[in-house]
Amino acid sequence: MFQYYFLLGVRSLRRNPVLTALMVLILAIGVAASVSTLTILHVMSGDPIPGKSERLIVPLIDNGPLKGYTPGEREGDEMSYRDAVNLLASGQGDRRTAIRGASGTVEPARKDMPVFTVEGLTPTRDFFAMFEVPFLHGGAWSEADDKAGADVVVLSSKLAEKLFGNANPVGQRVRMFGFDYSVVGVFGKWNPVPRYHRIVGGPGAFGDEDEFYIPFHNAIRHEMGQNGNMNCSSDRGPGYQALLDSECIWIQFWFELHSVADRPQLQAWLDAYASEQRKLGRLQRNAPNKLFNVMEWLEEQKVVGKDSRLSAMLAFGFLILCLVNTIGLLLAKFSVRAPEVGVRRALGASRKEIFTQFLIESAVVGLAGGILGLLLALGALSLIGSISEQIAVTTHMDWMMLLVTFVMSVSAAILAGLLPTWRACQVTPALQLKSQ
Amino acid sequence: MEIKPIFSALMRSKTGPILVAVQVALSLAILANALHIVSVRQEVAARPTGIANEEQVFSISVKALNPGGHEQQIATQNSETAALRAVPGITSVANVNQIVLSRSGNYNSVAANREQERSTASPSMYVTSDSLVKTWGLKIIDGRDFTPQDVLEFDQKTSKAFPTVALITKVLGQKVWPDAASFVGKKMYYGTGAEAREVTVIGVIDTLETPSAAMGADGEMSTMVPARTSGSSRTLYTLRAEPGQRDRAMKDAEEAIRKLHNGQVVVHSKTQSEQRVNRYKADYALAWMLITVSVLLMMVTASGIVGMASLWVTQRRKQIGVRRALGARKFDILRYFVTENLMITTTGIVGGLLGALALNQLLVSKLELARLPAEYMVIGAAAFWALGIAAVYGPAWRAASISPALATRSA
């Protein structure tokens, strides 16, 4: 019976073509608007590294000056060089990395290619395993290179191709920042959305892919300037050593825990570390030391902007309007079919069967609206993506959203069909037959 | 006159009219808020930066491969400035550390007094060795611009030197010295405590936005100090071209710098208009999204009114025929439907105004948006009245055109 009603529903789409087209279109627009805003929200607030996000931890230690401090405020989202080095040496967690930004010039060996600038990060060796960076060639630099801050570099596949073509560049030399680096690895496309490993300090959660990684201690050894934020609460002396000794915060730190259960232990260690530093005259604010896992960190950094929430809210308001509109149109469509219902009821169809038939017919409208809505949503997303580069990376639809689109559209249509269907069931067969 | 019979007719079948009224109410609630948000964003994006004739201004960033030591870097800066000044069509060149609206810059807290516990404001600090005031066409409302004698030359890497004079914006002056009539000659401190740097304010700029151009007064808190420094990773210049010459002059300027360095240099240039577009990209995107939704809202609501009105016309064919046969003019039928529709939309509009306030309340509390001014509600209400009449006119005209003879005969 379902199949037969379904076919009837499809056929009835053609009965009032203008009315039906309007209904499908309005439902499609409503669904498209809410699905495209929902997709952006979904991608922005999604878990970028499922299964591991609870074990990757950002520690924050407040090292701001006591003067003018009101409890509750925080100096910043990064840490000083001193703390970063101490935490690296702490042995806490399975892995540790300190990240900061670096940018500089590349002088290609080929004379026909002009000098250009690149932007990347200076992590420690553990970074690649912690964030599951996929390698195409080679791999991370060695423990010894990490400690010594050797001139080794991991390139993005894009940069590697630009410099060396399609050949495997591992072992080759590239002149960067005025030094000769040897290539130890090339990573494939890796630009998580959001860029949770570097939301702070750089271009934000939706920036471009990193072009290279060099060892943290290498950038320090070459006295490379910081590419990104630096927050200094007090005046520091001139020179690089003064920066390293200062309380300026400019380095982001990550721990990887063996299991979630180790978190209290890390917290205890961090508190002990802070009170030890306090004895040395630092960290006078005595503010609570904080730990954030990936999802807490995204929440703390307000990765999902107010504008996205606003858009989603308005789009849902719009969907409700489309629903009310569809109720009206379905009412109109069904009301002209009272004679048909009268005949069917007189021939023995129960109210339940009429109800089922009309509801399935509404669902068919919903299905058509869903398909059109999906196309519209894809169009809208690519349009939004072309307007703003930053949002572009977040406008990819996944299977989850595809499913949501259909479920939303069909259930919206069924919901809208409830009242008109109920009205159709109220038809009194005798009265209808008499008036014909 | 006719209102009573129309009203009792409406009360007999309430579902349709209620649906239309709900649609009008929902759309009005969303529309009023959406339009308000759009206009707030447009206002923000159109704020003056302080730069006169922005379309003539661009910036060029120079990163030499082998910058050399302090002496060499200063010499390079001088020859770069000379090379840029020599480009035809360039009227003014200034060395600067940061660009308005570029979203990346220096912020240093300032205070009126060394002994303050906390600093008063955290303005952005422009550093220039030329006349940035002249290149950007900034308006000095009190005091004077820097002279070449004011410019302090030092190496950022080794020296803690700091200029002794500064220009500030009017807004910053009002924040630091709320009661003062004039800020010229006042002593201002970068930082607090013993290490704070003392400067004398020598001039007041009417408006100069910060690189981030934050909302409200913070976006106009700027200071400017005269210095020529070495030791930063790149040198930045801002230039003004003759009207209409910008794009060509920008290319020539890049070329001149490359030639000066024999190609051993990375050069990037950007027009001030591009900076503005980049800074407000998210605002433009949101505004477009809201405008699209608003247009769709109006269309959906209009189609709802047309659909329901057409249905009523079809249902009342016979009655219309009878009324016409009994002497009603076409105009009477038209007026009936328009009046009926006005009654429904008015109910919807009343609901919509309440809805708009409620939605605004939600947005204010959840997303910290501004309160909805009354004029948006008035504009929205007027728009929906007009929309209602326009939408019902077609079906009503068809109803009026029903021939009484045909309509009564089929019964």
Report the alpha-carbon distance of residue A355 to residue A360 in Å, rounded. Answer: 9
Which DSSP symbol is given to A258? S
For residues B325 and B391, state if they share a domain: yes
Given a cut of 50, whether residue B411 has pLDDT beyond it is no
User: Cβ distance A84 to A228 under 8 Å?
Assistant: no
Residue A394 is predicted with a pLDDT of 60
Q: Are residues B296 and B378 in the same domain?
A: yes
Task: List, as ranges, residues 67-106 from B with C-beta within 8 Å of A.
Answer: none
The span from the CA of B37 to the CA of A420, in Å, is 36
Choose among A97, A147, A365, A144: nearest CA to A252: A97
**Count of domains forming chain B:** 2
Query: Which has the minimum average pLDDT: A43-52, A153-162, B260-269?
Result: A43-52
- CA-CA distance, A301 to A334, in Å (whole number)? 51
Facing residue for B34 by CB, picked from A68, A314, A332: A314
B141/B17 same-domain check: no
- CB of B159 within 8 Å of a chain A CB? The answer is yes
Structure tokens at A175: 């002149």
Q: B113 — contact with chain A (CB < 8 Å)? A: no
* Closest CA–CA distance from residue A422 to any residue of chain B (Å): 12
What is the band of A202 on the pLDDT scale with cuts at 50, 70, 90?
Answer: confident
Q: Say yes or no: B377 contacts chain A, CB-CB below 8 A.
A: no
Residues B379-394, buried b or exposed e (16+ Cβ, 10 A)? ebbebbbebbeebbbe
| Closest CB to B26 among A67, A311, A320 | A320
Chain A and chain B share a number of CB contacts under 8 A equal to 137
Question: What mean pLDDT is predicted for residues B243-270?
Answer: 93
A181, containing H or E segment: strand A179-187
B310: contact with A, CB 8 A cutoff: yes
pLDDT band at A41 (very low <50, low <70, confident <90, very high): confident
Cβ neighbors of A284 (< 8 A, separation 6 or more) are A65, A66, A278
Determine the residue among A22, A303, A314 to mutate to test chain B binding: the one whose Cβ has the most chain B Cβ atoms within 10 Å.
Answer: A314
β-partners of residue B93 are B239
Looking at B233, B263, B293, the residue that finishes a domain is B263
Taking CB atoms and an 8 Å cutoff, what residues of chain A touch B191?
Answer: 234-235
Calculate how close chain B gets to A95, using CA atoms only, in Å.
Answer: 33
- Do B102 and B132 lie in one domain? The reply is yes
Minimum Cα–Cα distance from A108: chain B residue = B264
Q: Any CB–CB contact under 8 A between B108 and chain A?
A: no
Contact A84, A252 (CB under 8 A): no
Q: Are residues B246 and B286 in the same domain?
A: no
Cross-chain residue pair B30–A116, CB shorter than 8 Å: no
Distance, CA of A261 to CA of B252 (rounded, Å): 62
Q: B286 and A234: CB-CB below 8 Å?
A: no
**Mean pLDDT, chain A, whole residue set:** 86
Q: Six-digit token pair at A375?
A: 């196309």
pLDDT at A388: 58
Beta bridge pairs of residue B107: B124
**In the structure encoding, which two tokens stand for residue B6, read together?**
């129309």
From the centroid of its chain, how far is CA A337?
Answer: 48
Question: What value of ipTM does the predicted structure carry?
Answer: 0.78
Amino acid identity, position A57: I
Separation of alpha carbons A31 and A416, rounded Å: 13
Flag whether pLDDT at A401 surpasses 80.
Answer: no
Return d(Cα A420, Cα A355) in angstroms, integer: 10
Q: Tell me the chain A residues in contact with residue B362 when contact means C-beta distances shorter than 8 Å.
A: 313
The residue count for chain B: 411
**What does each C-alpha distance from B74 to B70, B80, B282 come to in angstroms?**
6, 10, 39
Q: Are strands A173-176 and A212-213 parallel, antiparallel or unpaired?
A: unpaired
Poorest-pLDDT segment among A82-86, B240-244, B288-292: B288-292
Query: Could you report the per-residue pLDDT of B188-214, keeping only the tens digit for each?
Result: 998 888 888 899 999 999 999 999 888
Query: Among B263, B293, B319, where does a domain finish?
Result: B263
Alpha-carbon distance B17 to nearest alpha carbon in chain A (angstroms):
9
Tell me what the mean pLDDT of segment A214-241 comes to.
Answer: 84
Residue of B nearest to A327 (CA): B19
Region B64-84: what's the mean pLDDT? 91
Residue B268 falls within a domain, yes or no?
no
Where residue B95 falls (left for φ over 0; alpha for ψ -120 to 50; beta otherwise) is: beta
Q: Are A26 and A322 in contact (CB under 8 A)?
A: yes
Inside any domain, residue B187: yes
Mean pLDDT of B347-368: 90
The model's pLDDT over A384-394, given as tens digits with 9 standing for 90+, comes to 777 655 555 56
Query: Is 70 exceeded by the pLDDT of residue A228?
Result: yes
Contact A360, A5 (CB under 8 A): yes
Other Cβ atoms closer than 10 A to A73: 11
Higher pLDDT, B403 or A95: A95
Three-state secondary-structure class, residue B92: strand
Residue type, B171: V
Q: Is B286 in the A-facing interface, judged by CB distances under 8 Å?
A: yes
* Nearest residue of chain B to residue A391 (CA atoms): B282
The whole-angstrom separation of Cα B224 and Cα B150 is 12
pLDDT at residue B143, as a whole number: 93
Q: What is the pLDDT of residue B89?
A: 93
Buried b or exposed e, range B257-266, using 16+ CB within 10 angstroms = bbebbeeebb
Same domain flag for B113 and B252: yes
For residue B63, list chain A residues with Cβ-Cβ distance below 8 A.
Answer: 105, 117
Query: Do B287 and B259 reside in the same domain of the chain?
Result: no
Hey, is the C-beta of A19 within 8 angstroms of any chain B C-beta?
A: yes
Helix (H) or strand (E) holding A105: strand A101-107
Buried b (16+ CB within 10 A) or exposed e, A274-293: beebeeeebbebebebebbb
Contact A305 B282 (CB under 8 A): yes
Contact A239 B34 (CB under 8 A): no
Indicate whether B86 belongs to any domain: yes
* Subunit contact B16:A336, Cβ cutoff 8 A: no
- Residue B133 above 50 pLDDT? yes
d(CA A131, CA A195): 11
- Between A114, A235, A419, which is nearest B195 by CB? A235
B142 near B177, Cβ under 8 Å?
no
- According to the model, what pLDDT value does residue A125 have? 94
Cross-chain Cβ contact A26/B303 below 8 Å = yes
Residue A153: burial class (beta carbons within 10 Å; 0-12, 13-18, 19+): buried
Tell me the pLDDT band of A436, cut-offs 50, 70 and 90: low
Higher pLDDT, A27 or B272: B272
The C-alpha of B140 sits at a distance from chain A's nearest C-alpha, in angstroms, of: 30
Residues A409, A364 contacting (CB under 8 angstroms): no
pTM: 0.81
Examine residue B56 and state whether it is found in any structural domain, yes or no: no
d(CA B5, CA A317): 35
Contact A225, A250 (CB under 8 A): no
> Which residues is B238 bridged to in the sheet?
B59, B94
A230/chain B closest Cα distance in angstroms: 10
Task: Tell whether B73 is covered by a domain.
Answer: yes
Chain-chain contact of A317 with B359 (C-beta, under 8 angstroms): yes
Among positive and negative, which fits the CA dihedral A216, A222, A223, A224?
negative
Write the DSSP assignment of A354-409 as a string of letters: HHHHHHHHHHHHHHHHHHHHHHHHHHHHHHHHHH-HHHHTT----HHHHHHHHHHH
Question: Rounded to whole angstroms, how far apart are CA atoms B64 and B79?
Answer: 13
Distance from CA of A226 to the nearest CA of B (A): 10
Instruction: Show the tokens assigned to B360.
Output: 């605004």
* C-alpha of B329 from chain center: 53
pLDDT of residue A389: 57
The mean-pLDDT minimum among A318-322, A400-404, B289-293 falls in A400-404
pLDDT of A333-391, one tens digit each?
Answer: 888 788 888 888 888 888 888 888 888 888 888 888 888 988 888 888 787 777 655 55
**Do B306 and B248 lie in a common domain?**
no
| Lowest-pLDDT range of A115-119, A230-234, A262-266, B15-19 | A230-234
Using the predicted structure, report yes or no on whether residue B254 has a pLDDT greater than 90. Answer: yes
| CB < 8 Å from A in window 170-199 of B | 191-193, 195
Question: Is residue B112 in a domain?
Answer: yes
The Cα B146–Cα A431 span in angstroms is 94
Say if residue B95 is in the same domain as residue B175.
Answer: yes
B215 lies in a domain?
A: yes
Contact B356, B380 (CB under 8 A): yes
Contact criterion met (CB below 8 Å) for B363 and B39: no
| Angle in degrees, 0-180, between the axes of helices B330-367 and B374-400, rounded to the nearest 10 | 150
CA B227 to chain centre: 33
Angstroms from B57 CA to nearest CA on chain A: 24
H helical segments located in A222-337: 240-245, 263-279, 294-300, 306-335
CA B157/CA A426 separation, integer angstroms: 87
Q: Is B53 within a domain? A: no
Q: What is the pLDDT of residue A362?
A: 87
Looking at this protein, which amino acid is placed at residue A287?
Answer: A
Is B212 in contact with B114 (CB distance < 8 Å)? no
Same domain, B120 and B232: yes
**For residue A387, which residues of chain B lie inside 8 Å, CB to CB?**
281, 284-285, 288
Domain endpoint, select from B231, B263, B295: B263
Looking at the complex, report in whole angstroms how far the Cα of residue B307 sits from the nearest Cα belonging to chain A.
7
Residue numbers of the domain that contains B301: 3-46+281-409
Secondary element (H or E) of residue A291 = strand A290-293
Q: Are residues B204 and B287 in the same domain?
A: no
Residues A266-275: contacts with CB under 8 Å, at least 24 apart: A266/A57, A266/A59, A266/A92, A266/A93, A266/A291, A267/A291, A269/A90, A269/A92, A270/A59, A270/A61, A273/A61, A273/A86, A273/A87, A273/A90, A274/A61
Q: Within this chain, do residues B170 and B252 fall inside the same structural domain, yes or no?
A: yes
Please compute the mean of the pLDDT values over residues A57-81 and round it to a whole number. Answer: 84
For residue B139, name the pLDDT band (cuts at 50, 70, 90).
very high
Q: Average pLDDT in the B87-101 region?
A: 94
Contact B290 A22 (CB under 8 A): no
